[in-house]
Chains A and B, each alone.
Chain A
Amino acid sequence: MSTNQASQRRNAFDGAAARARCLAYRRRILDISQQVAALHIAPAFSCVEIVDALYDGVLRREAEGTTFRDVFLMSKGHGCMIQYVILERLGVLSRADLDAYCKPQGRLGAHPDYGTPGIAASTGSLGHGLGIAVGQAFAEKLKKTDTRIYCVMSDGEFQEGSTWEAMMAAANLGLSNLVVLMDNNDFSGLERMSEGHRAFYPLVEKAEAFGWAAREVDGHDGAAVFEAALAQHGARPLLVVCKTVKGKGVSYMEHVPIWHYRSPNPAEYAQALRELEGAA
C-alpha cells in the first residue's frame, strides 16, 4: 500500500505569512466568542502557532484537494476552536459550520467529534488522544504506508495515567511515524504545573527515559515548531515540548486561569483586538 507519489509539503516555512495567518485566526476566534459564550479561548490561543505550523507546513496533502495524507489529531479537544478556524480557511469546514458553532442546528461543539470533516477522533476527555494516535500509527505501520500521525496534546493530559500507558506502548512498538506536540502552557484547570505539581517537570528527560526522542521549542515560533516536528528521530516516536503562554496575545488572558473558559465582554473584546493588532 506504500505510495511513491511526491509528498505535498512545503520545503521552507514563511514566518511572516504564518504570523499573518495566526493573527487572523485569533481575530476569528474572538469574533465567534461574541456570538457564543461556550468556547475555550485561552487554551486555543496557546496552540495557534503549533496547529498552524502543522496544517500549513508539516502535514502532507494528497496530490490534489483538501485532504491530507498525514493525520492531525487534536487530543486537547478543548482547543478545537483553532482547528475549526483553520479547517474553515482550508475549505474543509464552511463558514456556515462556524456560524452555527454550538448551536442546535450546527455540527460543531466545544469538543471535536469524529465524523466531522477534518476531525480524526472524538476528544474532550483528557488522556484519550495519545492512545488513539498510537493505534492509528500502529495501523499505518502494519499497512506499510508512510502516513504520519501528528497529535497535539495539552500538558495537563500528561497528568493522566493513560497517557503514560500510551507513551510506553508507542516506544515499545517503535512508532517512528508518531509525533506528539505538547502545548506546554504550564496551566491545568486549577493552577500552574510548575507550582502545584513540581514533579511534572522535567519533560524532555521523562520522555527520553520512556524511549522517545524529545526536544523543546518556543511554541509561539511557527518556524521552530515546523523544524522540530520534521526533525529526524530514528525508530522512536517524537515528542516536541512546545513552551507556550495560555491566552497568548491578549494581556488580561495570559496566564490567568479564568480565561480557560470565559468569553470577553464587548469592552474586553475591543481591547483584545487592539492588542493583537498592535503586536502584529
Chain B
Amino acid sequence: MRNRFADTFYELGKVDPRLAIVVADISPAGSIAKFRSEFPDRFVNTGVAEQIMIGMVAGMAQRGLRPFAYTIATFALYRPFEFVRDDLCYQNLPVTVVGIGGGVTYSTLGATHHAQEDVSIARAVPNLSVIAPCDPSEAEAATHWCAAQERGPVYLRLGKAGEPDLSKEAPDPWTFGKLRRLRTGADVCIVAYGGIMKRAFEVAERLEAAGKSVALISAHTLKPFDAAGMAELLREFPSVVVIEECAPTGGLSQQVKEIAWDSGARAKIHSFTLKDEFIHCYGSHDDLLDAHGLSVAEMTRRILG
C-alpha cells in the first residue's frame, strides 16, 4: 500500500504543482524518493518534529497548496494530535495526513509504534474524513481522491508494504464514503477495512468450506460512514461479521452495532477487534493479530459456533 501510494502521489505530483509532501524523518519509500529528487522544492523533511509537520501543511493549504503530511501512523496522528485537531480540522483545510502502518503493523517495535486506536480517535474529530484502504488498488484510488478533494482534512491510514491485491475482481468501484462490495454472497456478510482484509478473505474461504455463501465488504471510508449502505446490509444478511485492526472503543464494530440498533436490524452480529490492551508480544504482524484474538481459526470458530 505504501509503495502504491508513493507511485500514485508521484504521478499526480508531476501534473499538479500544488501537491507537496512534508515528512518527519521517515525514509521516503519508493517513488517518494523519486518525487524528492525531481521536485526537491515540494518535498520537506521537518526532521523528528511532527508538530511543525502538521502546522506547516495547514499554512501551506491556506496559501493554495495541496499538501500531504507523511509518517508512521502513531507520529502522524498521536504526537501532533492537537495540531491535527486545531490547525487542520477546526480550520477545515484540504490536507491529507498519511499514517503508515496503522494498527499493529510494526509488530516488533512495541506499543509506542502501534496505532491501535487511530481510527477511533480520528473518527471522533469533526471535519476529519477517515480512509483506510484494504489493498494497493484501494490505496491508489484513495490517493487520487485525496489529491483532488476540497472537502477538508483526511486521515489516510495505510499499511506498510506487501499487501495482496484483493479488490481486482470487485463488482463495485471505489467511491469515497460508500461501502464497497468486493465479493458477493448470501448467508454471511463480512465487513472489514485496512490490511486485515486479507484475513477476512481467509475467514470467508473457511466459512464457504463449511457451506456458507459469504459476501465481503470494504468499509474503506470510516468517516463519513455509509450508514444507509450498512443498514441495507444488515437487512439483507442474517449474519454480519465485522473484522477490524482497531481498538474496540469507537471503531467500526461499535458503529455497525449502533446502526443495527437504530435501524431495528435483526442480523446476528459478530465483531472482532484488537483487544483493549497493550500486549507485550514481539513477533510478526500475524503473531500480533493472533495474540489479539484475531486468528483466522479463532474468528471462524466463533462465527460458526
Closest to A135 in B: B59
B55 near A162 (CB under 8 angstroms)? yes
* A125 close to B60 (CB less than 8 A): no
User: Do A161 and B55 touch (CB < 8 A)?
Assistant: no
With A128-B87, A139-B64, A139-B65 known to touch, is A169 a contact of B58 (CB < 8 Å)? no
Contact of A162 among B63, B65, B83 (CB under 8 A): B83
Inter-chain contact B47/A138, CB cutoff 8 Å = no
CA distance A280 to B44 in the complex (A): 50
- Check if B54 sits within 8 Å of A131, measured CB to CB: yes
A132 and B64 contacting across the interface, CB-CB below 8 Å? no
- Please indicate the chain B residues that have their CB under 8 angstroms from the CB of A154 in the complex: none
Q: Residue on A with the closest CB to B45?
A: A172
Tell whether B52 is near chain A: CB-to-CB under 8 Å: yes
A143 — which chain B residues lie within 8 A by C-beta? 63-64
- A114 in the interface, Cβ–Cβ < 8 Å? yes
Asked if B41 is an interface residue, CB under 8 A from chain A, the answer is: yes
User: Which residue of chain B has its CB nearest to the CB of A170?
Assistant: B52
Tell whether B122 is near chain A: CB-to-CB under 8 Å: no
In the complex, A140 Cα to B60 Cα: how many Å? 8
With a 10 A CB-CB cut-off, give which of B63, B83, B87 has the most chain A CB atoms. Answer: B63
Q: Is the CB of B65 within 8 A of A142?
A: yes
- A275 interface residue per 8 A CB criterion: no
Residue of B nearest to A140 (CB): B63
Instruction: Please tell me if the beta carbons of B82 and A125 are within 8 angstroms of each other in the complex.
Output: yes
Q: Which chain A positions have C-beta within 8 A of B56? A: 131-132, 134-135, 138, 169
A136 touches which one: B41, B60, B82 (CB < 8 A)?
B60
A139-183 CB contacts (< 8 Å) to partner B: 139-140, 142-143, 161-162, 165-166, 168-169, 172-173
Smallest beta-carbon distance A164→chain B, Å: 9
A contact residues around B60 at 8 Å (CB):
135-136, 138-139
The answer to whether B44 and A121 touch across the interface, beta carbons within 8 angstroms, is no
Q: Is the CB of B47 within 8 A of A168?
A: yes
Docked Cα-Cα span, A130 to B61, in Å, equals 15
Majority SS at the chain A contact face: helix
Q: How far is the CA of A130 from the CA of B49 in the complex (A)?
A: 14
Interface size on B, residues (CB 8 A): 28
Residues in A102-144 with C-beta less than 8 Å from chain B: 114-115, 120-122, 124-125, 127-128, 130-140, 142-143
Instruction: Please measure, in the bound complex, the distance between the C-alpha atom of A132 and the C-alpha atom of B93, giving whole angstroms.
Output: 12
Answer yes or no: B212 CB below 8 A from chain A CBs. no
CB distance from B56 to the nearest CB of A (A): 4
Contacts of A131 in B (CB 8 A): 51-52, 54-56, 58-59, 83, 87
* B299 in the interface (beta carbon within 8 A): no
Contact partners of A172 in chain B: CB under 8 A = 47
Within 8 A of A (CB), among B88-109: 90-91
Enumerate chain A residues within 8 angstroms of B51, measured Cβ to Cβ: 127, 131, 161-162, 165-166
- Cβ–Cβ contact B86 & A135, under 8 A: no
B47 x A132 contact (CB < 8 A): no
B65 touches A132 (CB 8 A): no
Q: Residue of A at shortest CB range from B56?
A: A135
Partner of A165, one of B44, B52, B59, B90: B52
Most buried by B among A127, A132, A135, A140: A135
The complex places the Cα of A138 from the Cα of B67 at a distance, in Å, of: 12
Q: B-contacting residues of A (Cβ < 8 Å)?
A: 114-115, 120-122, 124-125, 127-128, 130-140, 142-143, 161-162, 165-166, 168-169, 172-173
The 8 closest A-B pairs by CB, nearest first: A131-B55, A135-B59, A139-B63, A135-B56, A136-B59, A165-B52, A162-B51, A165-B49
Sampled A-B contacts (12; CB under 8 Å):
A114-B90, A121-B62, A131-B52, A131-B58, A138-B44, A138-B59, A142-B20, A142-B65, A143-B64, A161-B51, A162-B55, A165-B51
Using a CB–CB cutoff of 8 Å, the interface residues on chain B facing chain A are: 20, 41-42, 44, 46-47, 49, 51-52, 54-65, 67, 82-83, 86-87, 90-91
